[in-house]
Structure 1
Amino acid sequence: MLARRAPLPYPATTAAFFDTAKIEGIAFLESDSNAVAPDPARAVVRDEHAGVPMFGMDTEPVFGGDLPEKWGRAQAEISQQLKVVALCRDGQRCPAAARELIRLSSEGAGRSGRARVGLINRAVNLAIGPASDEAQWGVPDHWSAPFETIQSRRGDCEDYAIVKYAALLEAGVSADDLKLVVLKSAFPNEDHAVLAVRVDGEWLLLDNRTLTLVRDTDVVRAMPEFMLDDHGVRRFVSANRHRQSVS
C-alpha cells in the first residue's frame, strides 16, 4: 500500500491533487500518439523527443531498494498474465480473471486516443472497490498482480494502476506510453499511485479516485516522486538541478 491511510470511498474529489479550475474532462476524440519514448540509458533523462517532460521534471534511475524490487515482481506477473490472455484469444483454456481483463481492455474497442483511454479507465475504476492492504490482506503493503485484484474486486491505488497498465497494454497501447507514477501529497502526508498515459504528446493521469483524465501540468499540492515503466524505476529530480550539474 502506498497511501498511509485507507483509500477514500469512490468516487472522491479531485481537489487533493488536481487544480479543479483547470482540469480537462474525458475528451472523446479520435486521436493517436506517435511520440517517441525517452532513452533509458541516460543517467538523467529529459524527454526531448516528446516535448516537455512529464511534470516538467527530469528523472534519474533508481537501482536498489524496495520499490524496484516490488515493481520488478509486478512486471513479471503482468507479463505472465498477458501470456495467459493471449492463450485465451487463441481459444485455449481461459480463467475468469483473464476473461475479465479482456473485457476491460475491450472497453475502448473502436476508439483511439483519449476516448479509448477514458473508457478503459472508467471500466477499471468501476470494476474494483477501494480497500487498504491492511483491511484486505492484513499487511501494511501488498502489490497485487492484475488477476488477483480482478478476482478480489478490491485494491488500493497501485493495484488499480497495475490493472490499468495491463489492460492498456492488452488494448495495444505501447509500453513506452505507460508509466506508473508515485506522488507525495503535501497535505495529508501520503503517497498515492496513478497511471500516466501519453496521448498526442500529453501525459494524462488516471486516478482510481476520479473518472477524469488529468494532465500532469494540472497537478497541485503534490510532488511527483517516482516513475515506474518498462525500463525500471526512475526518481523525479528538478530540471534546475540537472542544469546545475552539467553547467
Structure 2
Amino acid sequence: MSGTGKRAGRCGLLALCCVWLPAWGWDVAEIGRRAEVLYGPQAEGSQRLEAWWRLLAEQRDRDVEEQLHAVNGFFNDTLRFDDDRRIWQRIDYWATPVESLYQGAADCEDYALAKYVSLRQLGVPMERLRLTYVKASGQAHMVLAYYAEPDADPWVLDNRITAVLPASQRSDLQPVYAFNGEGLWYADRLAGDSQGLSRWQEVLHRMRREGFPSLVQR
C-alpha cells in the first residue's frame, strides 16, 4: 500500500473511533497525540494502538463471553512476552496499555492490566474483574479473573494460553491475592482497598498523564 493509502486508512480508522470512544470518555485523538509526545513517534506502536481502538469499537455491543475471548486473544497475539528487565531495564515495572502497545512487548502484569482496562471500557462492571496474583508452577504470575457472580467460579484470562477457562480447570494456578480499583482480597476475603498498592497507583497516574480519565479506576 502506498504512503497515501496508509494515511487514508489510518485517518478512516481514527474517524471511526472518534465517533465511538469519546462517548465512553476516551478522546483517542488526544491519547494518540500524547503517546507521541511521551514515547516518540513510532509507526508500529501507533498501528497497534489503532488496532486496540478498533477492537474496542467492534466489541462494544457484543456479549461478555465474546468480549473476554476477543480481548484475551488480541493482547496475547499483539504483544510478545518478555521480561521487565529487557523491556524497561527495571526489575518490576507495571506498564500502561499504551506503553505496552508502543513497545510491542509485555510482562504478565502488563497483559492483565491491558485486559482489565479494555473490559472496563467495554462496560464490564469493576466488581466482576480482579487482577489476580498467582503461583504458576512455582513462579509468580498475574492473570485477570472475571466473575459472572460474586461467588462464581471465575474465568481466567492468561497470557500463557489462548483459551479462557474457568479457574476450576486451571489447577496449575494457585491464587495469592487479587485486586481491582476498589478492593484487595486475600484467599477470597476482602482485606481492604487497593489504594496502598503503589504500582497500581503509579499505573493509574501514568494513564491520566496519557489522557485517560480517572473513570478507568472507578
Same fold (TM over 0.5): yes
User: Structure 2 CA distance, aligned partners of 1:107 and 1:164?
Assistant: 15
* Structure 1 position 199 matched with structure 2 position 187: no
Amino acid at match of 1:88: D
> How many pairs align?
152
Structure 2: 5+ residue runs without aligned partners? 1-20, 33-45, 190-218
Q: Which residue of 1 aligns with 2:139?
A: 190
3-state SS, counterpart of residue 148 of structure 1: helix
Deviation at residue 98 of structure 1 after TM alignment: 5.9
Letter in 2 for 1:124: F
5+ residue gaps in structure 1?
1-81, 239-247
> Do the aligned partners of 1:182 and 1:191 also contact (CA within 8 Å) in 2?
yes
Match 2:27 to one of 70, 88, 95: 88
Equivalent of 2:57, from 106, 113, 138?
106
Which residue in 2 is equivalent to 1:152?
103
Q: Which residue of 2 aligns with 1:4?
A: none
Say which structure is richer in helix.
2
Contact between 2:49 and 2:102, CA under 8 Å: does it hold in 1? no
Q: TM-score, normalised by structure 2?
A: 0.62
C-alpha distance in 2, partners of 1:134/1:94? 26
The root-mean-square deviation of aligned C-alpha atoms, in Å, is 2.5
**1:166 to partner: Cα distance:** 0.6
Q: How far is the alpha carbon of 1:199 from its aligned partner?
A: 3.2
Identity of aligned residues (%): 24
Separation in structure 2 between the aligned mates of residue 126 and residue 167 of structure 1, nearest angstrom = 15
Quick check: 2:97–2:113 contact (8 Å CA) kept in 1?
yes
For the pair 1:125 / 2:76, whether they are aligned, the reply is: yes
Aligned partners of 1:119 and 1:237: how far apart in 2?
27
TM-score, length basis structure 1: 0.55
Going from structure 1 to structure 2, the CA distance change for 1:146 and 1:175 (only over 3 Å counts) comes to: same
Q: 1:107 to 1:197 in 2, by over 3 A?
A: farther
- 1:59-84 CA-to-partner distances (Å, cap 9, x unmatched) read xxxxxxxxxxxxxxxxxxxxxxx99x
Distance between the aligned counterparts of 2:159 and 2:52, measured in 1? 17
The CA distance in 2 between the partners of 1:116 and 1:132, in whole Å, is 27
- 1:1-247 equivalences under 5 Å are 86-88=25-27, 93-95=30-32, 96=46, 99-185=50-136, 187=137, 189-199=138-148, 201-236=152-187
Letter in 2 for 1:216: A
Matched residue SS, 2:113: helix
Residue 226 of structure 1: CA displacement? 0.7
Whose RCO is larger (CA < 8 A, sep 6+)?
1
Q: Which amino acid aligns with 1:183?
A: V
Q: CA 1:128–1:134 in structure 2 vs 1: closer, same or farther (change >3 Å)? A: same
Cα shift at 1:104: 3.2
Q: Counterpart of 2:158 in structure 1: which amino acid?
A: D
Find the residue that maps to 1:196 and give its secondary structure: strand
Task: Verify the 8 A CA contact 1:182 1:192 in the aligned structure 2.
Answer: yes
AA aligned opposite 1:219:
R
Aligned equivalent of 2:15? none
Q: Cα offset for 1:181?
A: 0.7
Provide, for residues 12-52 of structure 1, a one-character-per-residue CA deviation record: whole Å limited to 9, x for no partner. Answer: xxxxxxxxxxxxxxxxxxxxxxxxxxxxxxxxxxxxxxxxx
